[in-house]
Amino acid sequence: MAASRPPRAAPAGEPAAPPRRDDLVAGPSVRAKLAKLGIHSRLDLVLHLPLRYEDETKLTQLADAGTGEPVLVEADVVDCEVKYRPRRTLVVKLTDGKSDLWVRFLNFYPSQVKQMAPGRRLRLFGEVRPGFFGAEMVHPKVRVVEPGAPLASSLTPVYPTTAGMSQANLRGFIEHALDTLLLDDTLEHALLERLALGSFRDSVLFLHRPPPDVDAASLDGRTHPAWRRLKFDELLAQQLAMRIAYRERRGKSAPRMPDGHTLTNALVKSLPFALTRAQKKAWATIAHDLAQPHPMRRLLQGDVGSGKTLVAALAALQAIENGWQVALMAPTEILAEQHYLKLSHWLEPLGVKVSWLAGGLKARAKRAAVEAIGKGETQLAIGTHALFQDDVGFGRLGLAIVDEQHRFGVAQRLALTGKGTEPHQLMMSATPIPRTLSMSYYADLDVSVIDELPPGRTPVVTKLVDESRRDEVIRRIRASCAEGAQAYWVCPLIEESETLQLKTALETFETMKATFPDLAVGLVHGRMKPDEKARVMADFKARRVQLLVATTVIEVGVDVPNATLMVIEHAERMGLAQLHQLRGRVGRGTARSLAILLYHQPLSETARERLRIIYGNTDGFEIARQDLLLRGPGEYLGARQSGAPLLRFADLERDADLIELAREAADTMITERSHAVERHLDRWLGHRQFYLKA
Ligand code: ADP
Ligand code: MG
């Protein structure tokens, strides 16, 4: 009699582990291999869809087989021999009565030699090519059959697999799952009808076992209705999860900060320009959000130079008017400082206490600054993300503004310091997120777009120049500076080594000084002390420096309207977003601006494509869209610290219409509290149910 063991209790204080749906019928080594394919359950097997198919539903006569396409042939073994020269090879000669076929295997098991004994009838799947002796096949798929054995009735799926897991075995597991799982629908009939989508069961069975007469292109291109059903399901699960996270946030509380119109109006009045229509609209939306009793999570998107900082300043003032503190975080020291300069210039005349948590602050000064924040004396604190990561405790944090959306996590941590309520969050991004992406992976956020630049800007002209024509570029700089303009010379990005990058910057600086003895040349790079950087930037702004040699630290936020020429070295090494950001540093005034992208041959295919895109486009959204096509969403998402599930089947660009449909369906299902919500999420996300952190 087996001793029964008591069930293991969950350790005190910890929630019991979520139920695992691991219902695989397999031993540990097979499980390990399946796990490598992301398969942990029978449902995962069902959702492990074929890469392509092989047609073994009809036989081709040997005489007709040399089409260049893989075909299924049937023939009898005449001879089977292992040859040792020029290398060990199994050579099998077959005939179908009319024509002969030679088959060669370079890697084979002894059992295969036995399998292919003379007299055996074989079915072989592969490509028939003209060979040394006649028609031949190399490494075909082989099966011994009885004459007249039935053919497959559907196309044979070929699955993505991993070492040690053969197609045949994997197919067996998947077939078993298809036969044993109840593949019922998670979606309501009416919805499927309205969207003209088939049932879940029919769709997966179709994709695993397509009939021979299927339109192959619709399977390859994943446009077949069965594919669309699965993509829709996947997108719907994503939408449901994101929209639920969105709604849950609305259940939390945050300080209500209605627009008091005192400080905000005062700022608008003090400006030498009027807000653009797009700025006004974004500002009105944010003003409304801040007046709500639940936390705002708004992403403010706007192309380089569209004037996001001003909108952020207005949001900050609204919080401050209501007696709350504001944190503004920027990704780099230089950008934080630019913000500090600009915002203190705008806000200090209104009596607002702005402080800058500079990296270079002495310990004493830093302690004092942190203390002023803690006591609530500082109304607006500006610094890098990193600085806020050290324990800066706010007395009354009402709003966190994050410039460049990349690091959601930091604001999250700050949010935890709020007691009972969460601060509102405004995220700003000059790397526009393509619409399809913001509708899918960012569906838990609200998004505002500033889709207009302030008036009087002239588009930047971009030139691609081979670095062998450097002399012309030098002449160009000399001519421009002689006319009173200023220029940037951006040093190459050297990702592998910061030291090397610094060295290159110093060398470039020396070269430029020697090349332009008549010009005042400045240098700014990431390793400089903050006050040194500030001095150089101030000199450049005041036109005491005409040519500024810079590393990519000037990528974001730097604002000098008189600088109208930019040379970017080794532009082929840079990403599209980076090039667009850099280029955005010129064209800030009314004069015509020029960006010269110097490139070195040979160019990789992607580099060539990137340069083509940046050359042909000035609109950041279009660039981002093409970037997404070029690289996929990974790059954008690397930034998101959430468990947002990646899409396996749907393609953001090609399936944009499905994203819209899924969004609508998700909202309806949630509003109607449909039971399908839970069932659908369980099917698609299961125990991987995630929690969005942004
Ligand atoms: P970004 O959106 O790239 O952060 P900024 O906020 O730095 O852009 O704004 C770019 C420049 O345009 C700044 O010098 C800013 O003062 C100026 N600016 C902002 N709004 C307007 C406007 N409505 N009219 C004219 N200039 C503006
Ligand atoms: Mg900015």
Q: Single out the residue of 455, 435, 52 nearest to residue 219, CA to CA.
A: 52
pLDDT for res 453: 87
Mutate to test the pocket of ligand 1, among 268, 269, 275, 306 (most ligand atoms within 8 A of CB): 306
More confident residue, 374 or 277: 277
User: Which one-letter DSSP state was computed for residue 258?
Assistant: -
Return the bridge partners of 354, or none: 380
Q: How far is CA 490 from CA 568, 592, 613, in A?
A: 5, 19, 20
DSSP helix/strand/coil, 55: coil
Has residue 211 been placed in a domain? no
Task: Work out the angle at residue 585's Cα, subtended by the Cα atoms of residues 582 and 590, and round it to the nearest 5 degrees.
Answer: 145
pLDDT for res 591: 83
Q: What is the pLDDT of residues 642-670, one digit of tens each?
A: 444 567 898 887 898 999 999 999 999 99
Instruction: Count Cβ atoms below 10 Å from residue 46 Cβ, excluding itself.
Output: 21
Q: How far is the CA of 580 from the centre of ligand 2 (A)?
A: 13
Strand order in the sheet with 563-568: 461-466, 594-599, 563-568, 486-490, 547-550, 521-524
Token code pair at residue 330:
């920027």
pLDDT for res 694: 34
Domain termination site, one of 104, 120, 151: 151
Q: Whose CA is nearest to atom 25 of ligand 1?
A: 454
pLDDT for res 634: 60
Question: Is 566 found in the same domain as 428?
Answer: no
User: Which one-letter DSSP state was computed for residue 395?
Assistant: S
More confident residue, 204 or 440: 204
Q: What percent of the chain has pLDDT over 90?
A: 49
Question: Is 422 found in the same domain as 353?
Answer: yes
User: Which one-letter DSSP state was computed for residue 399?
Assistant: E
User: Which one-letter DSSP state was computed for residue 169?
Assistant: H
Say which ligand is closest to the CA of 450.
1
More confident residue, 558 or 99: 99
Is residue 359's pLDDT more than 80? no
Query: Residue 572 and residue 495: Cα distance in Å, rounded?
Result: 13
The enclosing domain of 106 has a CATH number of 2.40.50.140
Q: What is the pLDDT of residues 3-53, one digit of tens each?
A: 333 333 333 333 333 334 678 888 899 999 999 998 888 999 999 999 999
Is residue 513's pLDDT more than 80? yes
pLDDT for res 589: 78
Which range has the worst mean pLDDT, 399-408, 423-432, 520-529? 399-408
Has residue 379 been placed in a domain? yes
Is residue 249's pLDDT more than 70? yes
Q: Whose CA is nearest to atom 24 of ligand 1?
A: 454
Question: Is 346 found in the same domain as 280?
Answer: yes
Q: What is the pLDDT of residues 144-200, one digit of tens each?
A: 999 888 999 999 999 999 988 999 999 999 999 999 988 999 998 999 999 999 999
Strands (DSSP E) found in 276-389: 297-302, 325-330, 354-357, 380-384
Query: Residue 574 and residue 581: Cα distance in Å, rounded?
Result: 11
Question: Is 408 found in the same domain as 297?
Answer: yes
Has residue 471 been placed in a domain? yes
Across 18-29, b (16+ Cβ under 10 Å) vs e yields eeeeeebeeeee
Query: Residue 328 and residue 425: Cα distance in Å, rounded?
Result: 10
DSSP helix/strand/coil, 526: coil
Question: Is 551 found in the same domain as 441?
Answer: no
Question: Is 553 found in the same domain as 505?
Answer: yes
pLDDT for res 522: 95
CA max distance for the chain: 99
- pTM recorded for the entire structure: 0.71
pLDDT for res 390: 63
Question: Is 531 found in the same domain as 407?
Answer: no
Q: Is the CB of 305 under 6 A from ligand 1?
A: yes
Q: How far is the CA of 279 from the centre of ligand 1 (A)?
A: 10
Report how far apart the first and last C-alpha atoms of the chain are (Å, whole number). Answer: 54
Token code pair at residue 649:
């089947």
Q: Single out the residue of 266, 192, 203 nearest to residue 230, CA to CA.
A: 203
Mean pLDDT for 68-87 is: 91
Say which ligand is closest to the CA of 310.
1
Has residue 600 been placed in a domain? yes
Instruction: Count Cβ atoms below 10 Å from residue 328 Cβ, excluding itself.
Output: 27
Sign of CA dihedral 337, 343, 345, 350: negative
Q: How far is the CA of 557 from the centre of ligand 1 (A)?
A: 10
Is residue 84's pLDDT more than 70? yes
- From the alpha carbon of 310, which atom of ligand 1 is closest? 6
Q: Are 645 and 487 in contact (CB under 8 A)?
A: no
Band of pLDDT at residue 215, cut at 50, 70 and 90 = confident
Is residue 129's pLDDT more than 50? yes
Query: Residue 677 and residue 349: Cα distance in Å, rounded?
Result: 53
Has residue 10 been placed in a domain? no
Total domains in the fold of the chain = 3
Has residue 500 been placed in a domain? yes
Q: Give the 3-state secondary structure of 402-442.
A: EECCCCHHHHHHHHHHCCCCCCEEEEEECCCCCHHHHHHCC
Domain termination site, one of 584, 617, 650: 617
Q: Is the CB of 559 under 6 A from ligand 1?
A: yes
pLDDT for res 2: 36
Mutate to test the pocket of ligand 1, among 267, 269, 309 (most ligand atoms within 8 A of CB): 309
Mean pLDDT for 285-305 is: 92
Q: Is the CB of 589 under 6 A from ligand 1?
A: no
- From the alpha carbon of 308, which atom of ligand 1 is closest? 2
Query: Residue 444 and residue 439: Cα distance in Å, rounded?
Result: 9
Q: How far is the CA of 404 from the centre of ligand 2 (A)?
A: 8
User: Which one-letter DSSP state was computed for residue 88?
Assistant: -
Query: Residue 327 and residue 53: Cα distance in Å, rounded?
Result: 56
Average pLDDT value over all residues in the chain: 85
Q: Are 93 and 78 in contact (CB under 8 A)?
A: yes
DSSP helix/strand/coil, 585: coil
Query: Residue 628 and residue 101: Cα distance in Å, rounded?
Result: 48
Q: Single out the residue of 32, 548, 65 nearest to residue 334, CA to CA.
A: 548
Question: Is 473 found in the same domain as 592?
Answer: yes
Instruction: Count Cβ atoms below 10 Å from residue 215 Cβ, excluding itself.
Output: 11
Please, how many CA atoms are within 13 Å of residue 71, restricted to the half-sphere of its CB?
A: 19
Sign of CA dihedral 311, 315, 316, 320: positive
Q: Tell me the residue type at 126.
A: G
Q: Is the CB of 308 under 6 A from ligand 1?
A: yes
Range of the domain at 433: 262-450
Mean pLDDT for 617-632 is: 82
Domain termination site, one of 127, 151, 175: 151
- 483: Cβ–Cβ under 8 A, 6 or more apart, which residues? none
The enclosing domain of 515 has a CATH number of 3.40.50.300
Q: Give the 3-state secondary structure of 604-653.
A: CHHHHHHHHHHHHCCCHHHHHHHHHHHHCCHHHHHCCCCCCCCCCCCCCC
Has residue 675 been placed in a domain? no
What is the phi/psi pair of residue 127, to 5°? -95, 135
Say which ligand is closest to the CA of 308.
1
Question: Is 497 found in the same domain as 446?
Answer: no
Question: Is 269 found in the same domain as 142?
Answer: no
Question: Is 472 found in the same domain as 363?
Answer: no
Has residue 235 been placed in a domain? no
Question: Is 378 found in the same domain as 347?
Answer: yes
